[in-house]
């Protein structure tokens, strides 16, 4: 009986930590023509720090020095600028946003909402912690949509499924 309870508990934990156990809500922005799934229980701030919206995780304990987050920004792309140029500029901006040396840089493509985008992931020292960041860029209807997810490097494996679910959920109108 105890063994059965342990197995059920382990299955439950794997479900929760995979991101499947998180409740989601779709954030819609008709003005900017996009929507995205965000964790329902995360705190949301609209329009702060130059973002369209920022979703911030709850503190895991009172000593928690960093709250994992998902931020979305949108901007017009100049007509004469190539998509690749904007993507490169955006990635460089993500590097500059975090002072310090980036390491573990990987990049690739992502398809979401019927559009192909580009992502870059890296770790960077920030004050007394190390952050892991994944930043994605899509260009649609003369707008660039940048979704950036960050967590403490030591907690990244726990939040990675949540980040990827949000990133793959973006839809454009």
Give the mean pLDDT of 122-147. 90
The residue segments making up the domain with residue 80 are 23-172
- Whether residue 107 lies inside any domain: the answer is yes
Question: Using an 8 Å Cβ cutoff, are 45 and 63 in contact?
Answer: no
**What's residue 100's pLDDT?**
64
Alpha carbon dihedral 54, 60, 65, 68, in 10-degree steps, equals: -30
What is the spatial distance between Cα 114 and Cα 122, in angstroms, rounded to a whole number? 26
| CA torsion through residues 40, 129, 48, 122, sign | negative
Q: Would residue 120 count as lying in a domain?
A: yes
The average pLDDT across 130-138 equals: 92
Instruction: Look at residue 73 and tell me if it is in a domain.
Output: yes
**163 falls within a domain:** yes
Mind giving me the DSSP string for 11-72?
A: HHHHHHHTTTTS-EEEEEETTTTEEEEEETTSEEEESGGG-SEEEEPPPSSTT-----EEEE
Please say whether the dihedral angle defined by the alpha carbons of residues 54, 154, 13 and 166, taken in this order, is positive or negative: positive
Is 4 within a domain? no
Q: Structurally, how many domains does the chain consist of?
A: 1
Q: Taking 50 as the threshold, does the pLDDT of residue 28 lie above it?
A: yes
Does residue 43 fall inside a structural domain? yes
State the chain's mean pLDDT as an integer.
Answer: 84
Band (pLDDT 50/70/90 cuts) for residue 159 is: very high
The structure tokens listed for 8 are: 């059920």
pTM for the full predicted model: 0.82
* CATH number reported for the structural domain that contains residue 61 in this entry: 3.40.1000.10
CA distance 27 to 170: 10
Per-residue pLDDT tens for 36-63?
999 999 999 999 989 999 999 988 777 7
* pLDDT tens digits, one per residue of 97-130: 766 678 888 989 999 989 999 998 999 888 888 9
């Amino acid at each position: 009986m105890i063994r059965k309870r342990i197995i059920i508990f382990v299955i439950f934990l794997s479900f929760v930590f995979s991101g499947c156990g998180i409740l989601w809500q779709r954030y819609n922005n008709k003005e900017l023509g996009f929507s995205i799934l965000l964790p329902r229980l995360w705190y949301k701030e609209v329009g702060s720090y130059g973002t369209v919206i920022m979703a911030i995780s709850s503190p895991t304990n009172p000593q928690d020095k960093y709250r994992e987050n998902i931020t979305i920004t949108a901007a017009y792309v100049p007509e004469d600028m190539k998509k690749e140029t904007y993507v490169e500029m955006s990635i460089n901006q993500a590097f500059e946003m975090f002072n310090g040396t980036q390491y573990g840089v990987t990049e690739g493509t992502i398809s979401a909402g019927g559009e192909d985008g580009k992502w870059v992931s890296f770790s960077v020292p920030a004050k007394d912690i190390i952050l892991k960041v994944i930043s994605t860029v899509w260009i649609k209807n003369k707008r660039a949509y940048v979704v950036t997810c960050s967590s403490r490097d030591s907690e990244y494996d726990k939040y990675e499924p949540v980040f990827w679910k949000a990133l793959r959920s973006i839809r454009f109108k």
